[in-house]
Amino acid sequence: MISGNREVMFEGFEDERIRVAGVELRVRHGGEGPPVLLIHGHPRTGSTWHRVAPSLVERGYSVVCPDMRGYGRSGTAALLPDHSQQSKRAVAGDLAELMRRLGHDTFTVAGHDRGCYVALRLALDHPWAVTRLAVMDGVPISEALARCDAKFARDWYHWFFFAVPDKPERAIMADPDAWYGGDPDVMGQENYQEFRAAIHDPETVRAMLEDYRAGLGVDRAHEEADRAAGRVVQCPTLFLWSARDDMEDLYGDPLAIWRSWAREVQGLAVESGHHMAEENPEAVVDALDALHRR
C-alpha cells in the first residue's frame, strides 16, 4: 500500500517468528479466507510478495509469506556433508509444519524461482495438504539438468559455480551489491532494504548457496525417484513464466515439461521480467485467484 510518498509493506499483517523442525522462521501472515502460502526465490525474502499479498487479502484470502530457512531473517540449519539441511524436502517440511501451526491443514501454495522447487516438493510430499499448486519461472531441477547444454551452462553458470566449496561465498561477499544488483525503484524501498540486509549477511549467503548445492545432488535424486515411482502432482497446477525472461529460449514450450509432472496443468506467460511479483503483481494476483476458482 502507498502511504504518502512511501510504499508500506504488509500493513495489517502479523510479523512473527515461529520455530519449526529446529529452525526459527520469520513469517508474515494476514487476512481471512482460503489460505495461500507464497514462497520466494533466490536471493529474495518473503517481502518480494509485498504487492501481491495485500491484494490477495483484499480478495478474501488468508496469506502466509515466510522467509525460507536460510533466507532473509529466518534461521539457518547446521551444514551437512550432502547439503540436505537445505534440501527442498527439508524446506517443504518446515512450511508444511508452519501452515499447520497457523491453523491451515490444507492450502494453495505458490512458489517463484527456487521457491517453485519447494512448492513442487510440498505438493509431492504432502499431497493431502496442498489443494492447488502454482509454479513460477522454473522447471523441475532434474529437467533443467537433463537438458543442460552450452547455452544453459553459459547463461546459468551460477548453478555450477555455487556448488564449488567456499569460493562463491568469497566472491559474493567481496561486493554483494555488485553481485546481486537490485533496483529500489522497481522493488520498492522497504523490499530492497530487506533484500540488501540479507545479501550482506555471510551466514545467509552461505545458506542460500547451500540451496543450490542441494539442488545438484539430493534434490535431483529426490525428483528422479519421483519419476521412477510414477509420482505426479495430483492437484490443479498453474505454471506462470515471465514473458521477458528466458524460459521459452531455454525450453521452447516450458509448459510441456510441467504437463508430465502434474495431472492437471495450465499455463500463462506474464508480461514481466523475472521478478513478476514485484513487476506485475496484478497479473500474478489475477492468476492465483483464477487458480483457486478452478
Start-end of H helices in the chain: 53-58, 88-101, 114-125, 141-146, 150-155, 158-161, 167-174, 176-180, 184-187, 189-199, 202-214, 220-229, 247-251, 254-259, 276-279, 281-292
Of 113, 211, 219, 226, the catalytic one is 113
- For residue 158, which of 80, 211, 84, 83 has the smallest C-alpha distance? 211
Residue entry with cell 527456487: 114
Say whether 274 is catalytic.
Answer: yes
Of 245, 246, 274, 286, the catalytic one is 274
Residue entry with cell 497479473: 283
Retrieve residue 283's grid coordinates: 497479473
- For residue 135, which of 110, 153, 156, 105 has the smallest C-alpha distance? 110
Provide the 10 A C-beta neighbour count for residue 251: 17
Q: Cite the active site residues.
A: 113, 274
